[in-house]
Homo-oligomer: A and B are copies of this chain.
């Protein structure tokens, strides 16, 4: 396309994404193996040059769809922009990083030179991309606590023990399914579908199927501290 490479100081702007998914009970990130220097053989985040007249989010969506066949992002948000003069050998490059989330039930068809890696055990990575993955993981962990972002990790319907497994993988610690259920129900994040899953060979009560109520990010529990006066009483609290 308009790959105006080889220019001096003003190389183009890059857009990258840390695409996360819970795979086999581990929080994993989609990486791409560089075939050429710099950082030949190292793993990097998918992405590339920003096109001439596309927005930033638009661009990373396009590139993920084209290059790694990831079309089913349940959530995408901007993380940060990095532009240290020395972050790129051979001329400074600005890069805007995004966090993308793929629900656990989807299996994107990725090219041979890309692979999923556990976010807690990253391979040797090029540029400053490992730091970006950590930013994404921190962001996800934080938002699991005060937003409904779980909708972007879970399939459309799930049992509570499955969901607690996703939370455990993302947060890095155990989450009791029994309490998670109540917390998310009271916050209005999830609801029961009415259906249930037959119990396995070893018996046990069949699990109820739940779903998230909203398909977009919502803040359900804006931090518990420094509330406006009167917020305790349920009667008519100010909207914001």
CB pair A226–B94 under 8 Å, yes or no, is no
A sample of 16 inter-chain contacts (CB < 8 A) reads: A13-B13, A50-B83, A55-B83, A56-B94, A78-B81, A81-B81, A94-B94, A167-B226, A173-B229, A173-B238, A174-B228, A175-B226, A183-B226, A221-B225, A223-B223, A223-B224
Contact with B along A193-220 (1 / 0, CB 8 A): 0000000000000000000000000000
Find chain B residues with CB under 8 A from A148 CB.
none
Interface residues of A in 8-30 (CB under 8 A from B): 9-10, 12-13
A234 beta carbon closer than 8 Å to chain B:
no
Specify which of B78, B146, B176 is in contact with A225 (CB 8 Å cutoff).
Answer: B146
Known A146-B225, A224-B223, A224-B225; contact A56-B83, beta-carbon cutoff 8 A: yes
Rounded to whole angstroms, the CA-CA distance of A146 and B228 in the bound complex is 15
Find chain B residues with CB under 8 A from A52 CB.
9, 92
Known A55-B83, A56-B83; contact A171-B226, beta-carbon cutoff 8 A: yes
CB pair B13–A12 under 8 Å, yes or no, is no
A80 beta carbon closer than 8 Å to chain B:
yes
| Copies held by the complex | 2
Interface residues of A in 153-173 (CB under 8 A from B): 167, 171-173
Rounded to whole angstroms, the CA-CA distance of A198 and B4 in the bound complex is 66
Residue on B nearest A7 in the bound complex, by CB: B10
A53 beta carbon closer than 8 Å to chain B:
yes
Residue on B nearest A78 in the bound complex, by CB: B80
A144 beta carbon closer than 8 Å to chain B:
yes
A54 beta carbon closer than 8 Å to chain B:
yes
- Which of A52, A225, A229 has the most B CB atoms < 10 Å from its CB? A225
CB pair B173–A53 under 8 Å, yes or no, is no
A123 beta carbon closer than 8 Å to chain B:
no
Contact with B along A47-84 (1 / 0, CB 8 A): 00010111110000000000000000000001011111
Find chain B residues with CB under 8 A from A94 CB.
13, 50, 56, 94
Interface residues of A in 92-135 (CB under 8 A from B): 92, 94, 96
Rounded to whole angstroms, the CA-CA distance of A84 and B78 in the bound complex is 13
CB pair A228–B173 under 8 Å, yes or no, is yes
Residue on B nearest A15 in the bound complex, by CB: B83
CB distance from A52 to the nearest CB of B (A): 5
